[in-house]
Amino acid sequence: MIKKILPLIGLTLFVHTELLANTPDDTIFPTQFKVYTNDAGQALNHPFPGFVEKILPTFNGYLESPGCYIACYSHSSNLGIYPVASNIFVVGQIRIAGKYRGAICYPTGHERSDISADPEFKKLCSQKFHCENNSCWAGGETGDWFGLKPD
């Protein structure tokens, strides 16, 4: 295992990875990715006062570079690991072929489309996280784990 140090909002995250990660597009997270959340819908990748540690399920089905993570969301609080809005919860993340542009993961072949409405990504999220009737959906907003800023 190799330790990789990633900056996030002026703090440091230690991630164990099997690949030497030079950029976010090269990084492979552990399958049991620790996050720290609060009741305000904020999530960090390091401990912080008032935040609770949770495990964000992470699927690393794509191990090549470049790759990036899509987040999967649900309206179900039972499936959710942490809330991002009053009725939207993150259920996990999946590494796919793609690149970060700003703080957003753009899957290869979908660089200009809204993946949240794409049936391919709804199906992928719903299968990986056992969402009934393809009720989960995807978004590329995972660059915060690396301290990436929106374009």
pLDDT tens for each residue of 65-79: 999 999 999 999 999
> What average pLDDT does the segment 89-103 reach?
97
> What average pLDDT does the segment 116-131 reach?
94
Domain interval for residue 19: 2-146
Distance CA 14, CA 8 (A): 11
What is the percent of the chain with per-residue pLDDT over 90, rounded to a whole number?
75
The answer to whether residue 45 sits within a structural domain is yes
pTM of the model: 0.84
According to DSSP, the β-strands at 67-74 and 88-101 are antiparallel
The answer to whether residue 111 sits within a structural domain is yes
According to DSSP, the β-strands at 82-85 and 52-59 are unpaired
The answer to whether residue 100 sits within a structural domain is yes
The answer to whether residue 151 sits within a structural domain is no
Distance CA 147, CA 130 (A): 30
Q: Which pLDDT band holds residue 21 (cuts at 50, 70, 90)? A: low
Distance CA 60, CA 67 (A): 10
Q: Which pLDDT band holds residue 19 (cuts at 50, 70, 90)? A: very low
Burial track 47-77 (b if 16+ CB lie within 10 A, e otherwise): eeeebeeeebbbbbebeebebbbbbbbbebe
Burial class (CB in 10 A: 0-12, 13-18, 19+), 140: buried
Residue 36 has pLDDT above 60, yes or no: yes
Tell me how many domains the chain contains: 1
